């Protein structure tokens, strides 16, 4: 269930849009790693990259919001903090498996969690930022 970038997700700020595309790539990489037992030892690295880049991206987005005196800054920042907690919970779920293999159902369940984790925020919160940045 590969995540695919689509034009409707565009925010209108090049740095933010590039970050969002890269986060989609990282989530797809995590899913591929989960589904490929031979790549199992890459899993901690892919998860760490996703976590690290999420922090980088949220900081960038928050500084852009501050720069334009975005009226929903506080609410949006709280959403980012919740997303970091959710990401940590998903990571724990993955790590709890230890060295065990993931079943098809488990992979799909985790991929679904990641899909909602990112896309819900992009659609509900970041598109409001698009309106502030571009007027659209
Ligand atoms: Fe955001």
This prediction's pTM: 0.92
**Centroid of ligand 1 to alpha carbon of 61 (angstroms):** 6
**Centroid of ligand 1 to alpha carbon of 125 (angstroms):** 6
**Centroid of ligand 1 to alpha carbon of 84 (angstroms):** 11
Determine the CATH number of domain 7-134.
Answer: 1.20.120.50
Cα separation, 67 vs 61, in Å, equals 10
Q: Look at residue 89 and give its three-state secondary structure.
A: helix
Secondary element (H or E) of residue 65: helix 43-67
Q: Is the dihedral of CA 113, 115, 118, 122 positive or negative?
A: negative
**Centroid of ligand 1 to alpha carbon of 8 (angstroms):** 15
pLDDT tens for residues 42-91?
A: 999 999 999 999 999 999 999 999 999 999 999 999 999 999 999 999 99
């Amino acid at each position: 269930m590969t995540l695919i970038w689509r034009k409707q997700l565009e925010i209108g700020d090049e740095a933010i849009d590039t970050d969002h595309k890269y986060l989609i790539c990282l989530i797809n990489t995590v899913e591929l790693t989960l589904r490929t037992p031979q790549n199992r030892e890459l899993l901690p690295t892919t998860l760490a990259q996703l976590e690290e880049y999420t922090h980088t991206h949220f900081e960038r987005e928050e500084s852009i919001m501050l720069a334009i005196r975005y009226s929903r800054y506080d609410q949006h920042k709280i959403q980012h903090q919740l997303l970091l907690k959710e990401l940590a919970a998903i990571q724990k779920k993955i790590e709890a498996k230890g060295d065990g293999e993931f079943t098809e159902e488990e992979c799909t369940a985790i991929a679904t969690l990641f899909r909602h984790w990112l896309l819900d925020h992009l659609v509900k919160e970041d598109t409001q930022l698009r309106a502030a940045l571009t007027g659209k």
